[in-house]
A and B are shown apart, each in its own frame.
Chain A
Amino acid sequence: MTRQTPLAAAPAVRLRGVGRRFRRTDALSDVTLEVPEGVVCGLLGRNGAGKTTLMSLLAGHGQPSSGSVEVFGADPFTHAPTTSAVSFVRDDQRYPDDFRLPHLLAVAPRFHAAWSTERAAELVDAFRLPGRTDVKKYSRGQLSALGIVLGLASRAPLTVFDEPYLGLDAGARQVFYRQLVTDLAEHPRTVVVSTHLVDEMEALLDRVVVLEGGRVVRDSTVDEARAAAYTVSGPAAAVDALTARLPVLASHRLGGLRSATVEGELTDEVDDAARRAGAQTGPASLQELVLAHGVEPEVGVPGVPASAAARASEGVPA
């Protein structure tokens, strides 16, 4: 395909006050965010947080109940060139009966202007995807691998991956990560990827959006997210005392020991105070931050009112 439409000067993704309601359930509420062009954005959150619904809206697979969704400055639901600029293979993707890998590889280039036959062949080979088996009979891992083939080889200006590692073993996941890095280096584009394997994918991400209960509780660069919280661990009494007046996102107790994830910057004063009390401090990992946003607070833990659960229920984004 050689048809071209000028790209508007806009971020890759812009959502303003987006809500998505399924009967009586709000899958997304008042979601406002922007994803700049050319970044890899991690969409993080617990199951049911609204990640797939959000990605579905980005791909024009569904419409918001309220607010507006823009991809490259246009509505992906109604603007056909924008729809075709997005690649999004759902984790429960439906395929026609008797459809096999060669059928998909034969038609996909017609739908994606920048489709790479070489990249597709490389990935098919690396994942050892069978060509003579109906796609409907693929295992979970093979379906994920097929989604990765379609997504990466499409070289769509916005490529969306929905938990692309499901069913893949560690080796296959490394194949995906390596191929993603290599392909983005050669053909920079915007990628949105949802994942629960935060530690494993952290190095790939430029930005993170954390969803909780259909709301955005964090939208920042990875570096900002990492600097946004720290952990205090040690004897429970010491940790309780140290965090009594601090915004504790999450707290876990094991015997007489407690570990708390605190929102805010880790300062020398906090570090000194912790050391004097026999506790340790350290920067929170992205995984800890995400978990903190998704964990219900323990009853009676000091500092808990500022937790993510409280924020979510009050509708206050972090």
Chain B
Amino acid sequence: MTASTHDLAPTATHRLPGAPSALDVVHLQTAKRFMTFAVPLLTLALVLAISGVVAGVFYQLGSRPGTEEWVANSRNNPGVLWALPGFLGYYGVQSVATTFPLALTLGAGRRAFTAGTLLFHGLLSAYIALVGLVLLGVEKATDQWFVGLYLMDVVVLGGGDPLRLVTVLFLGSLAVMSAGAAFAAAWVRFAARGPMALALGTLLVLAAAALLLASQASAVADAFQLWWLAAAAVVVIALACAAEHLLLRRASVR
């Protein structure tokens, strides 16, 4: 050592910087551009490719594009429903479980982190809904990808209705990510006991609801409206966001 800090004049007259904002946390959450924005596209491309292979098998079995049977079977393709939630659930968990400690290490406050993470989930959900809408447009413009493939114009995404597709993709993505984030927040706060307790509590509530409604199942089924699903998704999102906020508010970094 040729110099020492003793030689320094102790004149560190700092002013505290302002706290990082929710937007700073959004930047942190979207730092991995490829993972955040390209992986959903690749996932949908993979679903399209697999749908093509399945369609090829049906073609070999004698079904022909454009026929009533072909259209009915293709529009029941739930590929998107199976493919996206896995990625989104993982991303929701990761956006809290490993990003929370890093955000606090970088100096983010808990409130800014929670707000920024919720904003990020909303932005990613909007991006996925927008991608879905564009793909639906391309799908319709190319007469089902030129070969009779159905990726977005499917029953689970609203049967070709753009408004329903956007609603399903946005609320579905947000619900899955928010739920993942809530479970991750339970883990951050209470370690392994947290998500276990949260899962158990959720199961108990669902079981109690099922028991209460069992006697009126047929009446409920008859009265069922599609908007109930949207309302259920909104309730899940609200509960998950509230849980994330409450759990992280007093959480220590582990």
Contacts and interface: CB of A to CB of B under 8 A. Distances in A.
Given A38-B11, A63-B250, A188-B8, A85 B16 contact: yes
B107 A84 contact: yes
Interface stretch (A96-104, A123-131, A212-220, A239-247): A96-104
Nearest to B102: A95
Interface residues of B, number: 43
A108 B102 CA distance: 10
B102 A94 contact: yes
A184 B19 CA distance: 23
Given A1-B17, A63-B250, A81-B18, A88 B105 contact: yes
Interface string A95-135: 11111000110111011111000000000000000000000
A86 interface: yes
B237 to A, nearest CB: 23
Nearest to A189: B12
Contacts of A306: none
A95 B13 CA distance: 32
A58 to B, nearest CB: 12
B7 interface: yes
B201 interface: no
B108 interface: yes
Given A81-B17, A97-B94, A204-B4, A37 B12 contact: yes
B106 interface: yes
Contacts of A182: 3
Interface stretch (A4-12, A252-260, A276-284, A285-293): A4-12
| Most chain A beta-carbon contacts within 10 A, residue among B14, B28, B253 | B14
Contacts, number: 175
A89 interface: yes
A6 B14 CA distance: 9
A181 interface: yes
A301 interface: no
A84 B12 contact: no
Contact of B101 (A72, A81, A82, A93): A93
Interface string B144-188: 000000000000000000000000000000000000000000000
Contact of B111 (A80, A113, A178): A80
Nearest to A191: B5
Interface residues of A, number: 66
A17 interface: no
A40 interface: yes
Given A61-B252, A99-B32, A110-B27, A204 B17 contact: no
A97 B252 contact: no
Contacts of A150: 105-106
B5 A181 contact: yes
Contact of B14 (A1, A63, A189): A189
A63 B252 contact: yes
Contacts of B99: 96
Nearest to B3: A181
A90 interface: yes
A206 B5 contact: yes
A188 B12 CA distance: 5
A39 interface: yes
A295 interface: no
A86 B8 CA distance: 21
Contact of B20 (A93, A110, A205): A110
Contacts of A181: 1, 3-5
Interface of B: 1, 3-20, 24, 27-28, 31-32, 35, 94, 97-99, 101-109, 111-112, 250, 252-253
Given A80-B20, A85-B107, 18 more contacts: A1-B17, A3-B18, A5-B17, A6-B15, A38-B8, A56-B252, A56-B253, A84-B18, A85-B14, A87-B106, A94-B98, A103-B32, A107-B27, A110-B27, A111-B103, A112-B17, A154-B107, A189-B14
